[in-house]
Each structure stands twice: as C-alpha cells, then as structure tokens.
C-alpha cells in the first residue's frame, strides 16, 4: 500500500530555468554553452550540491576549467534569484495528494545559493512532511544513501513510497531499494503513472 509520495523538486515541482536565466543576464547561446561546460557539467557542481565546496571554492574550480571566462562565470553565479521558476500545477497537486491522505516528502539536489536565493519559488516545501536536501546532508542523488536517509529519518518503508524524479538514474537508484518509481516527463503523465501504481497495490 502506497502511503508516501517522494518528490524531486527541479523540473518536477519547479522549473530549473538555467538557460533562460543566463540569457536574461545577456549571454548569447555560445557563451551559455561555455558557461555550462565549465560549471554544471563538471564534478565540481556535484560537490557544491553536496555542500563540500563553498561558493568561493566552487567559483575558483569553475574558473580553473575555463580561465578566459572568469568574469562571465562570476556574472552568471553572483546572483541566483530567478534560476528557479514556478509551475501552475504544483500547489494544486500538493493539495490533492494531501487531501487524499498521502504524506509528502522530497529528496532534492540543491546548491546552497540556489536554495537560499530561490526559496520563494520552492516555498511549497514547507507543506511537506519531510525534506532531504543534498547540500545539508553531504550526499546527492543517485547515491543510495540519500534515499536510505529519508527512510530512516522519517521511519518510512520503501515499499510504501513512490519516488518521482525527472532523471531516470535517480529513479532507478530508488527502485533498487524498493521504492516504486516514476520518471517525470510531464504533469499529466506523472498523475496517470501515480494513479496506476496506487491502483495496483
């Protein structure tokens, strides 16, 4: 019996609008690609999401990848407000699930700056029954330990949980521990998938 719905946040409950965010800062497509390659696509980003690197440390690491765009990297990451947006369906989805008696949790990979500066876009997490955030725990998805932490901290059973994430690797990691899983491709498909899982158990 499913009792708990466990969400990822980025691109499931709130859009991670990274390219749009950089375009709004005046970067063209070529520079956006270069910034992404020097930052998000490096192992340093994951370490930042785990809280293992400070802002200054991660910026120095990004710059070491592409020293010629140091100024652009600082412009890109000096202020993160606006990098997360809002979906129209999120609050209603939370209302419906809570109204149906489900407990809601989230496991999210977030950088400290993103979490603090974009909190207005993700303030719905205050309505959740529990949260595991990568930079606070020193672990990030798809590491199995982050899912185990949620289970132990909130005294949950994996077989009573559905995990919804837009990254297949993260969902597969949860499923190996006994979670039901949905790879998020859109709100309507996720609702249908959730109904199917709940109806089959």
Model confidence band, residue 181 (pLDDT cutoffs 50, 70, 90): very high
CATH architecture entry for 4-15+84-199: 3-Layer(aba) Sandwich (3.40)
Q: Domain extents for the chain?
A: 4-15+84-199, 18-77
Q: Which of 153, 78, 88 is nearest to 113 (CA)?
A: 78
pLDDT of residue 197: 94
Q: How many residues does the chain have?
A: 201
**Cβ(50)–Cβ(110) below 8 Å:** no
pLDDT of residue 32: 96
Give the predicted TM-score (pTM) of the model.
0.92
Percent of the chain with pLDDT over 90: 92
pLDDT of residue 200: 67
pLDDT of residue 80: 87
Q: Which residue has the tokens 């595991």?
A: 132
CA distances 2 to 44, 101, 161, 198, Å, are 36, 11, 6, 6
């Amino acid at each position: 019996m499913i009792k708990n719905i466990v969400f990822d946040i980025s691109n499931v409950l709130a859009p991670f609008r990274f390219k749009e965010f950089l375009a709004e800062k005046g970067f063209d497509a070529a520079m956006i690609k270069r910034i992404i390659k020097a930052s998000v696509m490096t192992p340093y980003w994951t370490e930042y999401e785990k809280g293992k690197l400070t802002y200054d440390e991660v910026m120095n690491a990004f710059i070491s990848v592409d020293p010629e765009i140091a100024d652009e990297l600082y412009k890109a990451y000096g202020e993160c407000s606006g990098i997360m947006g809002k979906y129209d369906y999120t609050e209603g989805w939370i209302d419906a699930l809570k109204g149906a008696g489900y407990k809601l949790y989230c496991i999210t990979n977030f950088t400290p700056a993103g979490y603090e500066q974009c909190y207005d876009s993700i303030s719905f997490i205050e309505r959740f029954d529990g949260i595991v955030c990568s930079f606070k725990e020193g672990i990030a998805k798809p590491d199995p330990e982050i899912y185990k932490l949620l289970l132990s901290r909130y005294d949950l059973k994996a077989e009573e949980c559905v995990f919804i994430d837009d990254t297949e690797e993260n969902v597969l990691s949860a499923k190996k521990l006994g979670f039901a899983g949905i790879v998020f491709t859109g709100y309507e498909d996720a609702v249908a998938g959730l109904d199917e899982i709940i109806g089959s158990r």
